Structure 1
C-alpha cells in the first residue's frame, strides 16, 4: 500500500506538527484501555475511529505484529485512544461506545478482544452485530448493545477526542511513541517499530 499521509488521515490537516515529546496524557484525558505492561518505560498511544478503514487495517495487520514483538514481552505500554472524526455519524460513536462499555465492565483484555473482532465487521456494522460479537466473546451482549445504541459513553469519547485535538491529532490512525508522532506514509509495522526501538535506546 503506497498512500500519502494526507490520504491516510482523510483530512487536509496535517497531524502532529510541532508536537513536543511527553505532551500526551493531560489530566482531562479519560483512562485508556491498555495492553502490554502498564508500567513500561515506552508508551505507544494510538488514536482510532472505529469506522476508519485505515484504523481497521492498523488493528488487524499492525497491532498483531506489535503484540508479538513488544506487548507479549511487556516492552511497551500500548494505549487505545478514541478519536471519532466521525467517519460515520452513527457507527464512529456507537461502536466506540460499545467498546468503551466492554472496557468499563470487563477490562483491558476484553476491550482489545472486542476491538479486534468488531473491526472484522466494519463494512456491515449494526446493533445486532455489536451484540453478537460481544456474546461470542462471553461478554454481556445486551449491555454492550445498549451502550452502543444510547451512546452511553459519548462524553468520554468526546473528552478523548478533545485530548487528541489538543495534541495535534487531525485524523486517524495517529500513532504517538512517548509523545512524538510517528509519520505513517502507509499502514505498516516498520515505522512504528523503528520509533519504539529508538525510544527504548
Structure 2
C-alpha cells in the first residue's frame, strides 16, 4: 500500500499526543469546511496533512476531477478535516493558517487557499502563507499571525482526536458516508467507485 510509511509515522506521532487530544476532544468533530451540497445524502470526508506530498497530489490531481463530477453538480457533501502528523515543522502552522482563512473568510477562500498553499509544499514559509492568504482575498497578516501562534490548535487537535476515534492512521484518508475507503493507489477511480455505490 502506498501510504505505509505515512501511516506508521502518523500512528507513532499521534500516540504521543493522545492524552492532549483526548483532553481537548469533545467527542464531536469541529465544524468542517464543506464543498458541494451541505445537505447532500452522501458525505465524503478527507483527512489531510498539509506537509504530506500524497495529500498535495490528492488535492491537485484528484479533487479537480471530484469537483467536476460531484461538487459542481452538488451531488455530494465534501468535508475537509485535519490530521497533521507532527514530524514536519509546517504541518501545524499551515493547518492553523487554513483554519483561520475558513473562520474569517469562509469556505470559498478556504478551498482556494488550501489548493494554492499545496503548490508551495516544498518551500513553506510564513511569508508564503501570508502571500497566498492575501492572494485569495483573506487578511494575510492575520492568517500569518494565526499560523505563527497556532491560534486554532484546540480545533485542529479536536479534528485529530476525532480522526483517531475513526481509525485514521495516515494521510490522505477518505471516508464515504462514514466508511473508510481503501486506497491501493491515488486515483480518481478509487475514490469515485464508493461514491457511485453510495449514490445508487
Change in Cα spacing, 1:171 to 1:105, as seen in structure 2 (3 Å) is same
- Offset at 1:86? 2.1
Change in Cα spacing, 1:139 to 1:5, as seen in structure 2 (3 Å) is closer
- Offset at 1:170? 0.5
Matches within 5 A, 1:6-85: 6-7=4-5, 9=7, 11=9, 28-85=28-85
Name the CA distance, whole Å, in 2 between partners of 1:8 and 1:192.
Answer: 19
Give yes or no for the alignment of 1:195 onto 2:189.
Answer: no
Name the CA distance, whole Å, in 2 between partners of 1:194 and 1:133.
Answer: 33
Change in Cα spacing, 1:5 to 1:123, as seen in structure 2 (3 Å) is closer
RMSD: 1.5
Matched position secondary structure for 2:155:
helix
Q: Which has the higher helix share?
A: 2
Q: TM-score, normalised by structure 1?
A: 0.88
The correspondence for 2:2, drawn from 1, 4, 10, is 4
Q: What is the total number of aligned residue pairs between the two structures?
A: 186
User: Post-superposition, which runs of at least 4 consecutive aligned residues in structure 1 deviate over 2 A?
Assistant: 7-13
Are the aligned partners of 1:134 and 1:141 in contact in 2 as well (CA < 8 Å)?
A: yes
Matched position secondary structure for 2:50:
coil
Counterpart for residue 145 of structure 1: 144
Are the aligned partners of 2:97 and 2:129 in contact in 1 as well (CA < 8 Å)?
A: yes
- Offset at 1:85? 1.4
Name the CA distance, whole Å, in 1 between partners of 2:178 and 2:127.
Answer: 38
Are the aligned partners of 2:101 and 2:110 in contact in 1 as well (CA < 8 Å)?
A: yes
- Offset at 1:9? 3.7
Counterpart for residue 158 of structure 1: 157
Q: TM-score, normalised by structure 2?
A: 0.89
Are the aligned partners of 2:126 and 2:144 in contact in 1 as well (CA < 8 Å)?
A: yes
Name the CA distance, whole Å, in 2 between partners of 1:131 and 1:8.
Answer: 28
Are the aligned partners of 2:98 and 2:114 in contact in 1 as well (CA < 8 Å)?
A: yes
User: Which is further off, 123-132 or 180-189?
Assistant: 180-189
- Offset at 1:28? 2.0
Gaps of 5+ in 2: 12-25
Counterpart for residue 14 of structure 2: none
Matched position secondary structure for 2:32:
coil
Matched position secondary structure for 1:47:
strand
Give yes or no for the alignment of 1:117 onto 2:116.
Answer: yes
Are the aligned partners of 1:8 and 1:54 in contact in 2 as well (CA < 8 Å)?
A: no
